[in-house]
Structures are given as structure tokens and as C-alpha cells.
Amino acid sequence: MSLRFLFAVCFIACLVPFPHSAHAARATDESPARFITKQFKTIAGKRMAYVEVGEGDPIVFLHGNPTSSYLWRNIMPHLEGRGRLIAPDLIGMGDSEKLDFSGPNRYTVLEHSNYLYQLLEALGVKQKVTLVIHDWGSALGFLWAFHNRGNPDALKAIVFFEAFVTTYRSDTFPPEFINFFNLIRSPAGEDLILNQNIFIQQLFPDGILRNLTAKELDEYRRPFLKAGEDRRPTLTFPRQIPINGVPADVTAFIETYSQWLQTSSVPKLLIRGEPGLLITNGSESLRVARAFPELIEVSVPGIHFLQEDSPDEIGMAIANWLSA
């Protein structure tokens, strides 16, 4: 577990920030406008946003918490011309519409999957799909792959990083980590995230080696400027992390797709962060991931949001791997 993340946890109790590295900043406007321009489809009565560039076999980029398709803006250009690039905004995130009657039971992973899979169906994403998946986007992508395992033509390849490849036990984490997630799952979590917005304001930037520009930070903050239920997605996701079998439904489907991945012959590319957060040297997650058949592994600098620290390295690694 990254010491940097634990320092971020300490911030909550101590309000002590820590410095970012001198990793060079990458300007937002380096990416062409077509990689951040949104299109929309209405899914189950809600507008969902997505970026789409190019033609051919689908290459689908799935983000997690607390980000959006904007996370992929500097990676997608490396794959232009290699397929139909699609980067959705999950429901309630990015420019996708918020849910009505929001509350503690909304924006679960399974609810996200319902909207996302309907969007992919509406976009005709059915055959020869390459998934590029991160954070909770990995759970959604792996689960989509598992659901489509009966169709040998559905899935072409999987690229994953900082992904949920297995469930967790409390004895594999430092006490500070468990204390933090117990806090998030308590009533105090509502204030920390829905009111104080700590996931966007502190934990997100602390998952990146470099300092984001003001323009970049503004774009990530934009969907969650309004306190309260507009920020609910950023609270439900950490409450869904499966530790000691809780929540039971998330534990069950992650264990199910993890077992399937250990037998699947679909080509897989693991992009591991150095130092990383979820998939780190010596971790159970890395051991599990390395047991997947047909796996190639590369490493790039980064903590959790590797796309912001190493977009060119990631984009070129994916392009080279797809060309091999």
C-alpha cells in the first residue's frame, strides 16, 4: 500500500498536506478537441455522455471514481486510426445526467453497469471489443466481459491498470486504511464527501505524482461543484470496495469474474504503476493478475491515476501491444 495514500488518509484527521513530485505537468490543450468533445444518448430516461472518434472495431475506455472520459484525453490520440474509440462518462459523472431520488443506495456498481451496458448496446458495441479499463471502470469492464463470455467474438483484448482483480481482507492493509474506509462507510462519510468533497479536493490529486493544472482540476471538479447528492457517486464507490466480504454482492461478482479471468485466453495487457496503489509489488492483486493467461505486463510512473502521469507511455504501450 502506497505511503502517499496513507498520508492522504492522515490528511483527513490531521489536515496535513504533503508535497507532490516534480513530475512534469502536461497541459490539457495538448489533446485535440475531438478527444474531449461529447456526444449524448438517452438511456433509461437519462442523458449519457461519451466521446467517440474513428471507425472499426470498438476500443472502449472505462473510467472510475471520481473521474470521467476526460481522463483518457491524452491516451486516445495514440490509438487513433486503430479502431472506433469510445469513452463514456458513467451515469452521474462527467457530463452524464444525475439520477433522480439520489441517496445511499444509488450509484452502486450494479446500477452503473445497468446504464453503461445499455449505452454500449445502443452504440452497437458487441463484437471484437478491446476494453481499456481503470479503477471501478475495471470492475464494470471485467463484468461485461464475463457476461459476454459465451460469445467468442465479443471480446478482442483487455488492457487494465489499477484494477479490481480480486477482493480484499482487512489483514492485508495497514490499520489506517481500514480505519479510513470504516469512516467513509459511517455517517461521517456523508459529511466528508458530500459536503467537504474530500475525494475530489484531496484524495484525487494525491493519487497523481505531478501537480495538475488549474484547467485540469476545474474540469474534474465541474461535475461535483454542488454539495450534497450531486457528489453521491464519489461516496458510493469507496463504500463498495469489497473488504472482508462486504458488500456481499460486489464481493460475489468480483470473485466470479476473477476466477473466469484465470481461465480466459483473451489477450491481456497489465499496465502497472510505479509505485502504484491497488496493484503494487508484492501485493495479492499483482499475484492474482500475473496468474491470468495470455498476460503481458509493463510498468509506468504513477500512483493510481496513471493516465495523468504517464499518458504517452500508456498510449504507446497499448498501441505497440495491439500491433504485435
Q: Which of 63, 78, 112, 135 is catalytic?
A: 135
CA 247 to centroid of chain Cα atoms: 19
The enclosing H or E element of 190 equals: none
Round to whole Å and give the CA distance between 269 and 230: 34
Strands 46-53 and 39-43: antiparallel
Q: Give the number of residues written for the chain.
A: 324
The span from the first CA to the last CA of the chain, in angstroms, equals 33
Round to whole Å and give the CA distance between 140 and 133: 8
Q: Is the dihedral of CA 236, 242, 247, 251 positive or negative?
A: positive
Of 75, 54, 81, 90, the residue nearest 132 (C-alpha): 75
Cα-atom radius of gyration of the chain, to the nearest Å?
A: 18
Round to whole Å and give the CA distance between 83 and 196: 41
Round to whole Å and give the CA distance between 194 and 266: 39
Active-site residue flag, 153: no
Round to whole Å and give the CA distance between 85 and 97: 22
Q: Which of 95, 304, 308, 309 is catalytic?
A: 304
Active-site residue flag, 162: yes
The SS3 call for residue 47 is strand
How many angstroms separate the Cα of 279 from the Cα of each of 5, 57, 282? 13, 29, 9
Active-site residue flag, 230: no
Q: Which of 89, 95, 162, 313 is catalytic?
A: 162
Q: What are the grid coordinates assigned to 2, written together? A: 502506497
Catalytic residues: 135, 162, 304
